[in-house]
């Protein structure tokens, strides 16, 4: 994962934004170089972290959907984003876990996943932003019924 920690603010006071990438190519594993090529704004994320006071994280999950595979137990991406990644960020960077300071955002397939994962992990994330993905929470429609 790529992580940008805000400068000038205690990390314990920072919010957390997990940015989910789009699908990519199965032939080309997602790497730092391919991430920079696909998303040239990545270099500006340290400035965004500093300006917003939020820790920004992009987990590199490859070219598969951000879901748990029903047939390949080693591919449990939704569980990683909803349960394991938050624990890692707390332990490694010292951010805190008040739900209202944690957000998901994504581009293309990652945007669809952000909305769906919000419904699946409402105790972890408070909000999701979808940039260019499918509109609705196809797998977790209860996200539309949940109060803020």
Q: Please write the tens of the pLDDT for every residue from 85-138.
A: 999 999 999 998 878 899 999 888 888 889 889 989 999 999 998 887 676 555
Residues 6+ apart with CB under 8 A from 32: 2
pLDDT band with cut points at 50, 70 and 90 for residue 84: very high
104, 127 Cβ separation under 8 angstroms = yes
Q: Six-digit token pair at 48?
A: 């965004």
Tokens 């919010």, residue?
Answer: 15
* In the predicted structure, residue 40 carries a pLDDT above the cut 70: no
- Do residues 115 and 143 lie in contact, with contact meaning Cβ atoms separated by under 8 Å? yes
User: Is residue 109 classed as helix, strand or coil in its secondary structure?
Assistant: helix
Q: Tell me the pLDDT band of 55, cut-offs 50, 70 and 90.
A: very high
Whether the full predicted model's pTM is greater than 0.85, yes or no, is: no
How far apart (Å, rounded) are the C-alpha atoms in residues 12 and 98? 10
Predicted local confidence at residue 116, as pLDDT: 87
For residues 14 and 40, the model is more confident at 14
Q: Which one has a higher pLDDT value, 26 or 125? A: 125
Cβ(42)–Cβ(36) under 8 Å?
A: yes
Residues 62-82: tens digit of each pLDDT: 656 677 888 888 888 899 999
* Cα 28 to Cα 19: distance, rounded to the nearest angstrom: 20
* Dihedral of the alpha carbons of 1, 70, 84, 118, in degrees to the nearest 10: 90
């Amino acid at each position: 994962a790529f992580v940008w920690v805000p400068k000038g603010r205690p990390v314990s006071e920072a919010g957390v934004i997990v940015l989910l990438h789009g699908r990519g190519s199965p032939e080309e594993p997602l790497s730092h170089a391919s991430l920079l090529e696909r998303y040239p704004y990545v270099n500006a994320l340290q400035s965004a972290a500093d300006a917003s006071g939020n820790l920004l994280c992009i987990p590199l999950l490859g070219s598969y959907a951000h879901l748990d595979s029903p047939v390949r137990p080693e591919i449990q991406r939704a569980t990683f984003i909803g349960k394991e990644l938050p624990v890692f960020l707390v332990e490694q960077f010292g951010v805190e876990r008040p739900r209202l300071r944690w957000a998901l955002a994504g581009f293309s397939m990652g945007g669809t996943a952000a909305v769906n994962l919000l419904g699946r992990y409402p105790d972890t994330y408070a909000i999701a932003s979808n940039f260019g993905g499918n509109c609705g929470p196809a797998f977790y429609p209860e996200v539309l019924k949940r109060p803020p």
